[in-house]
Structure 1
Amino acid sequence: MAGLSPAVADATRRNRMERARPHYLTLDGGQIRLWRRGEGADLVVVGGLTLAAEALANRLAALNPGWRVTAIELPGIGGSTPLAPVTVEAVASTVGKAIELAGFGDFVLVAHQLAAGLLPLLWKSLGERVRTVAVGGGWAGRWKETVGGDLDIAPRQDGAHLNMLWHHLRDRQLLRPDNPHMPAKDGDIISGADELSQTFVAAATRPEAYAGLWKTCLDAQPSAAPEGCICVDTLSDVCAALEGIDLPAGGVALPKAAALPGKAVWHEAVQTRRGLVHLRRCGGEGTPLLVIPTGGGSSAQFEPVVTGLAEGRQVFSVDYFGNGLSEKLDRDVTVAMLADDMAALIEAMGFDRVDIWGSHTGSLVGLELAVRRPELVRKAVLEGPVFIDPDFQADLLDNYFPRIVPDKWGLHLQLIWHWRRDMFMYWPWYRVDRAAARDLGVPSAEDLHLYAVGILESGPTYDQAYRSAFKYDTASRLPLLKRPALICAGPNDMLVNGVEESEKLKVPGVRTTLTPTTVWWPAPEPDAAAATLVLYDDYLRDEAGV
C-alpha cells in the first residue's frame, strides 16, 4: 500500500479482512448492492429494513466462521436501485435475479425480520431445495399491528424527517414489538451508534423508497413460515440452525459491475493499491473522464456533470477515501496524497490517460495529479481552484469543520442538516451576518437531503480531503502544470477569484474563463447549465495543445 507506513498498511489489511465489502450487480434496469464477508460455504441473507445489509453481513460472519456471508440490499435501500411501483412480487423477483446472477451453487438463505414476507415467492423462483432460515419473524408480524405501515419521512426543510427515520429504526430494536411503550428484554444485541448509523444511511438514501418497502414487506408478512423453513428468534441463533448442514465452499467470484444503457448512472467499487474506491459512472465506452469532486461529502451531487458530459465518453466520479462510500482510511490527508489516490485509480481501471474535470478541492487534486503524473492526464477542466490569504486560511481551518460523530440519539443529524443549509446562505457558513450572505438561495429539501446523506456516509472522516484544500499552495503549484487546462468558475462561486488569480500567473497552456453557472449546484438556470456543459465539452474535444 504505497504511501502508508508498514504498521498502518498492516492494520488496514487486517481491518479489511474483518469487515464486509460492497459489490454491485447490474441487472436489467438497475443494480443491486451486496455486502460480502468470510470464506466457506455460502450463506445468503436478505434484509436491511431494521438492520443494514452491511451490518447483517458483519454480524453473521462473526457468528458463523467457515461460512461466506453475502447480504443483499433490497431494491431502494442503500446502493440498490428502487422499484416503481413497489410490490412484493417485484421485490422478490429482483432479489431472485440478483441471487441467480451472483452464481451461487448450494447455499442457505436467511431472511431477516420483514424479509420473511418474500420467502414464499423466493421459494418459487429458487426452488424449495434451498434451505431457509427465518430470523425474528415474530417481531415483524407484531409490528403490523403496533407500528403500522405508514411512515412520513419525506424530506422537509427543517430536516426533522431525519430524526423521524432515526428513531423509527432505533425503536425497532429498543421496544417490544407487541407493546411499543416498553423496552424489550429479549432480542438481538442493540446496535451502537456506528452500526445504527449504517442502517440509517442505507435507509435514508431514498427515504420514500424505504417507506414504500416498509409498508410492502409489512403487509406481506405471512401468518406462518413456509413448511421446511427453520425459524429462530435472533441472529445469534442462526449458528445452531446451521449445525449439520454440509455444503461445499462457495468459489464463484461475483461478476463485474456493468454499464447501464443510455445516460443512467451506475455504481462500481474498484479495488486499487491504496484502497477500495466508490465510483458513480455513466457510459461504458469512449474517452475516459474522471470527475473529482469538492471535499466533504460524496460525489452524488455531481451527477449533472457525469451525465452531461457522457456523450462519447465513459465518465466516472470518485468518492475520496474517507468520503461518501469509499473506504475510510485513518490518515493525515494532503492534496498530493489525493492525487496519488487518483493515479492508483486510473491504473487500476487500466487507462493509459484520462481527461480530468475537478471542482474546488477536486480542481487542486486534478492540478496536482497533472503536475506529478502528467503522462496520465490528457486535458483538465479545473473549476474554482482555491486561492486564499494566510489569515483567512487559518480562520477556515479553525472554524469551518464541525466535529461529526454518530450519536445514539441522532443529535448529529440536525447539526449536519443546518450546517449544509447555512453553506448555501453564507460564506463562510459560520459568519451568519448580512455582509456574508450569498446569492444562491436555499435549496429544496430534496437537494439538501442529498448533501446531508453524503456527509452521513462520510462520517467522522468527512473533513480529511476538505481540509487539504485550505492547506494547498495553488499559486506555487499551478506554474508547474505542463498539461492543457481550462480554469473556470460560475459567477456565484465563492471561489470565483481563482479565475482571476490563475490568469495573473500566465501559465502556458492554461485558459481562464467565467462560466454561465455552476452546473452541479441545486436547480441551476437550465439554459445557463446547458451552455456551461457545452463550454466544458467543446474544450475537452478540442485537440489543440494535446
Structure 2
Amino acid sequence: MAPTHTRIRRAFVTIDDRQVHYRHAGEGPVVIVIGQSPTSARMLDKQTAAFAEAGFTAIALDAPGLGRSTPHNTPRPDVSDQAIGLARMLDALGVDKVGLYGSHSGASIALEFSRLYPDRSAIALMDGLPIYNDLERNLRLSTYFPEYETTWDGLHLMWLWYRYREQNVFWPWNIRGRGARGPVDIPSPRKLHDGVVDILEVGNGYIPPYAAVFRYRAEDAIPHLSTPAHFLAYPDDSLLPALRHLPNLPDCCHLTEMPLDKTKGIEKEIELLRSVPAWGASEIRHGAAPRRNGSALDYVDVAGGQLAVARWGIGKGRPLVILPPAPGSVTQLGTLPEYLGEEREVIAIDLPGCGDSDVLEGTPVTVEAFAEQVAAALDQLVDGPVDIYARDGAAAVALDLRRQAPDRVRRLLIDNVPAVAPAERDEIAEAYAEPITLDWDGAHLVRLWHATRDKELYWPWYNRTIDGVRYENDPQIDPHQLTVEVNAYLKNFESYAPTWKAILQYPVYEALAEPSDDIVVCADEDGRYAHLARAVAGDRFRDMPLGVLARSGEILKLLD
C-alpha cells in the first residue's frame, strides 16, 4: 500500500445535550472506525485514510468521554450505552447501514452494535477483542485504574508517559513479569506523546468508558451475531491470548489470522470490508447543532485546514469574539466564556497551530497570516462588526485583524498583553520559547512544565536570577491550571516556538502606544504580562478583578 496523502477532516455531531467528535475522509459506503481507550480517534488515522482511499467514507469517532467527545451522563456507562449512542450518532448524521472496524475497546463497541442492530451492520472487523474470565475481569476492575493527581513538580506527566508506555511492555501494564511481557515494539515517541495528550485532555475521566470494557461479557454477545464478523488476530497484539476465550462461533463469524506487517494488515482489512455486498453510500449531514447548555464545539474551514471554534450564548446583541492565549487554547479560560455567554453571543477561535486548530498548510507563521485566517473564519461565522476580547499573545493577532479589517472590529479589549519594549524585542523573541523536541523518555514534558511554571516566577522566565524574580504578583502555579496550559501547548508542539517568536516580534508596543478610543488595555494584578501592559498603556490601563464572575462583568462593562 502506497503512503496515504488523504486529508482527514474533523467535525462534531450533537445528540441532545452531548457532542461526539469524529474524524472523517472519503466517499462511499460508511465505515465506522472506533479506537481503543484511553486515546482518541487520531490514533487510527492510518485506517481512516486507507479506508477512504479504498472507496469508503471513513468516520473515526472519539468514544464518549474520550478525546473531545462529551461523556455519557451516567457515572457508570456500559458498552451497550456506547453502542446505543453510536446508533443515535448515525441517526443524527443521516446514516443507515455501516461497516465497523473496532480496535481493542473499540472492538467491544463494534460487537455490541452488531448484536443490537444487525440490520444496520454490514460487517464488523474486531481487532484484538477483549474477552476475560471472571477472575481476570474482577482483577482488572480493581487494580487497572489508579487515578493520577496533578503535582506541583509536573511529575504526573512522567507518570502518564510511563503508564502509557508500560502497557506496551506488559499486559496488563500493572502486572510485571515474564508471563506478562507484551509481544510488541515500543511505540515511537510521537505515538506515546499523542497518547499522553489524549489522556490529559480528559484527565481521570478516561476511566469510566474504559472500565465499561472490562465489565462487558463479549462471550455472551457473540453467539447472537447474525451479520458477518471477523475477529482479527494480529501476532503482536497484547490481547491475542484473550481470543482463547472465544465461544463457539456462529456461521457468520470467523477468527481471522492477520500478518505481522501492519501495512499488509490494513490491505487485508480492506479486502474483508469488500467481501460483503456494498451497503450503499449515505449523504452525511456534517455540522454540529447548538447545545442547550455549555459550549457548542465545531470547526470552520479556512485555507489549508480547520480552526477550532467554541460557542456560548444565544445571539443577543453584537457578537463577542474571543481569541484565547496564543500559543494556547480556549481551555485556558475556564468558565469565563460561559459567564460572558449569559449576556452576549460568544465565539472563541483557537488560532492556527494553537490548541485544537490545525497547523494550516501554506500559511506562514506570522501574526499577519494568522489575522487573515481569523478574518476568513469570521466571514463564515458572523455578519457585521464584532467586539473582540484577546488574551495574552493573541492580542497581537487582534491588533493586526483590526488593521486588516477595521470595519469588522468595533471594540477591542486586550487582556494581559506581552507588549515587549522595542529595545528588548529581538532578544526576548529569540529566547522566550524553546522548541519542543520529543524525547524517548518523555523528558520534554517536564522541561515544558517548568518553563511554563517559571513564567509566573521570573521575567523573562529564563532569567532565573535575583534580577529576574517577579515580586509584584502572586504566582498562578496551581498544578491543575498549569496542566491545562501545558497540554494546550503539547497538542501542537511543533508550532509552539515559532508561534511565540512571531507574536513577540510583532510591534505590539508601538500599536498600543498611540491612544485609541476603541482599544482597552487591561490585566489583573497577577497577570503574567501585567507589568508590560501597564507600562505601554500608562493611565489608560484598566485593572481587572481576579474572580471569574467579577472579571466577566468587567469585560462586558468595558466593551459597552
TM-score, with structure 1 as normaliser: 0.84
Q: Given residue 359 of structure 2, which amino acid in structure 1 is its aligned partner? A: K
| Structure-to-structure mapping, 1:395-414, within 5 angstroms | 395-414=427-446
Opposite residue 282 of structure 1, the aligned amino acid is: W
Query: What's the offset of the Cα at 1:370?
Result: 1.2
Contact 1:39 1:249 in 2 (8 A): no
Q: Say which of 497, 504, 514 aligns to 2:542.
A: 514
Question: Do residues 364 (structure 1) and 396 (structure 2) align?
Answer: yes
Q: d(CA) in 1 for partners of 2:30 and 2:537?
A: 59
**Match runs of 1:128-527 below 5 Å:** 129-130=120-121, 131-137=123-129, 144=137, 148-175=143-170, 181=177, 191-223=187-219, 226-227=222-223, 228=225, 229-234=229-234, 236=266, 237-262=268-293, 264-273=294-303, 275-286=305-316, 287-329=318-360, 332-435=364-467, 436-438=469-471, 439-478=473-512, 484-503=518-537, 512-517=540-545, 524=546, 526=547
Structure 1 portions without partners, runs of 5+:
1-14, 505-510, 518-523, 542-546
**Partner amino acid, structure 2, of 1:516:** M
For 2:417 and 2:171, locate their aligned partners in 1 and report how far apart those are by CA, in whole Å: 54
Where do 1:1-16 residues align within 5 Å? none
Contact 2:420 2:508 in 1 (8 A): no
> Shift of residue 202 of structure 1?
1.9
Change in Cα spacing, 1:312 to 1:494, as seen in structure 2 (3 Å) is closer
Change (3 A) 1:441 1:461: same
Question: Do the aligned partners of residues 213 and 154 (structure 1) sit closer, same or farther apart at CA in structure 2, a change above 3 Å counting?
Answer: farther
Corresponding position of 2:113: 122
Partner of 2:20: 32
TM-score by length of 2: 0.82
How many equivalent residue pairs? 510
Q: CA deviation at 1:512?
A: 2.6
Deviation (angstroms), 1:207: 1.9
Match of 1:75 in 2: 64
* Alpha-carbon distance, 1:472 to partner: 1.5
Distance in 1 (alpha carbons) for counterparts of 2:300 and 2:164:
31
Deviation of 1:312 after TM superposition, in Å, equals: 3.6
1:133 Cα deviation after fit = 1.8
Please give the per-residue CA displacement for 1:328-370, whole angstroms capped at 9, x wherever unaligned: 1365422222211211111122422211111232222212211
Whole-Å separation in 2 of the counterparts to 1:338 and 1:243: 43
Superposition RMSD in Å: 3.1
Comparing 338-347 with 224-233, greater Cα deviation is found at 224-233
Change beyond 3 A, Cα 1:185–1:530? closer
Q: Which amino acid aligns with 2:477?
A: P
> Is 1:534 aligned to residue 524 of structure 2?
no
Which residues of 2 match residues 12-23 of structure 1 at below 5 A?
A: 18-23=6-11
Offset of 1:19 from its aligned partner?
3.8
Aligned-pair distance for 1:325? 0.9
Residue identity matched to 1:202: D
Query: Are the equivalent residues in 2 in contact too, given 1:143–1:177 (CA < 8 A)?
Result: no
- Distance in 1, matches of 2:217 and 2:460, equals 50
Q: Report the Cα offset of residue 146 of structure 1.
A: 8.1
SS at match of 1:216: helix
**Cα distance change of structure 1 residues 197 and 146 upon mapping to structure 2, 3 Å threshold:** farther
Q: Percent identity?
A: 20
Task: Check conservation: 1:515, 1:532, Cα contact below 8 A.
Answer: no
375-384 or 235-244, larger mean C-alpha shift? 235-244
CA deviation string 1:169-203 (max 9, x = no partner):
3333444569854596756x864332333333222
Instruction: Report the residue type matching 2:196 in the other structure.
Output: F
In structure 2, stretches of 5+ residues that fail to align are 235-264
